[in-house]
Amino acid sequence: MRRKIVAGNWKMNLSFTDAEDLINDLLDTLDEEKPTAEVIICPPYPYLELATDYMEENLFKVGAQNISSFGAGAYTGEVSASMLKSMDVTHCIIGHSERRKYFNEDDKMLTAKVNQALAHQLTPIFCVGESLPEREAGKDKEVVRRQVRHGLFHLDTVEFARVVIAYEPVWAIGTGMTATPEQAKDMHAYIRTLIAERYDEKVAEETMILYGGSCNSENAADLFSQEGIDGGLIGGASLKVDEFISICKQASAK
Ligand code: PGA
């Protein structure tokens, strides 16, 4: 039985004080509401420790938004998986479309990042998704297939079982244009078919697949009630306590 996950991707937002306020508000509200969904927050690197300090309260887990593809050493500006692990970070977003687009992260680099995460007991939240021209050209599944295969299918069954996938159509990210529940459900089912072909039905059935892209308190219930959608990766709406908690509650209701 897969448990729902709601992960908040704060991206490059908030001052230190705003981050502290948001974490405190989240703690208070999560403590009150106690959603059954697993809640993960992914603040920018300099704020991670603000969040990991509260991990023992068990209200949320903490993820990073990126990791280095290298292990350690002379890589100025990079943050390694082992550093994150040593701060009690549990998850790491890998392959977000903004990293693919603005930082030229390609399949080869993403494979290395996934390997780094797994080698240091971090759970990768591996993002895939097509652009609008790709969808309009009927290439959405081909693109997602390539991303899933290149990023993850080198893993053995045990390794693969530790990965969470996030389907995030690029055209839905930060645009207010959410995928319809049917479009999301269809792509999630397709990803599970790919996993069943590469591994087996049981692995496919057990893989956590989140939806991301303009998910908010208005559309979360519809999305999360679809077969095969195991929760959400939430950007803009994760910066507002009421919105985020409402999404967490809607994930917990199913
Ligand atoms: P959004 O971002 O919810 O603001 O569309 C989602 C994401 O990029 O993970």
- CB under 8 Å to 237, separation ≥6 — which residues? 215, 216, 217, 243, 244, 247
Q: Is 169 exposed, middle or buried (0-12, 13-18, 19+ CB in 10 A)?
A: buried
Cα 151 to averaged position of ligand 1 atoms, centre (Å) = 20
pTM (2 d.p.)? 0.97
Confidence band (pLDDT; 50, 70, 90) for 253? confident
Closest ligand 1 atom number to CA of residue 233? 9
Under CATH, which architecture does the 5-252 domain have?
Alpha-Beta Barrel (3.20)
Q: What's the pLDDT at 202?
A: 96
Please tell me the predicted confidence (pLDDT) of residue 55.
78
Average pLDDT in the chain:
96
The pLDDT, as a whole number, for residue 176 is 86
Taking the C-alpha atoms of residue 180 and residue 198, their distance in angstroms, rounded to an integer, is 27
Please tell me the distance between residue 155's alpha carbon and the centre of ligand 1 in angstroms. Answer: 27
- In angstroms, what is the span from residue 127 Cα to ligand 1's centroid? 11
Q: Lowest mean pLDDT of 17-31, 44-58, 90-104, 226-240, name the range.
A: 44-58
Let me know if 168 is a catalytic residue.
Answer: yes
Reported as a single tens digit per residue, the pLDDT across 115-148 is 999 999 999 999 999 999 999 999 999 999 999 9
Return the best residue to mutate from 12, 215, 216 for the ligand 1 pocket (most ligand atoms within 8 A of CB): 215
Digit-coded pLDDT (tens) for 153-175:
999 999 999 999 999 999 999 89
pLDDT, position 192: 98
Atom number in ligand 1 closest to CA 238: 3
> Which one, of 56, 115, 53, lies nearest residue 87 by Cα?
53
Domain residue ranges in the chain: 5-252
Residue nearest (by alpha carbon) to ligand 1 atom 2: 235
Please report which confidence band the pLDDT of residue 54 belongs to, taking 50, 70 and 90 as the band edges.
Answer: confident
Q: Name residues contacting ligand 1 (CB within 6 A).
A: 9, 168, 173-174, 212-215, 233-237
Query: In a mutational test of the pocket of ligand 1, which residue from 233, 238, 246 has the highest number of ligand atoms less than 8 Å from its CB?
Result: 233
Residues 6+ apart with CB under 8 A from 151: 94, 95, 107, 110, 111, 114, 126, 128
Mean pLDDT of 52-73: 93
Residue pLDDT, tens place only, 75-114: 999 999 999 999 999 999 999 999 999 999 999 999 999 9
Count of other CB atoms within 10 angstroms of residue 56: 8
Q: Is 120 a catalytic residue?
A: no
Most informative mutation of 99, 131, 214, 218 for ligand 1 (most atoms within 8 A of CB) = 214
The Cα-based distances of 53 to 20, 57, 58 in angstroms read 11, 9, 11
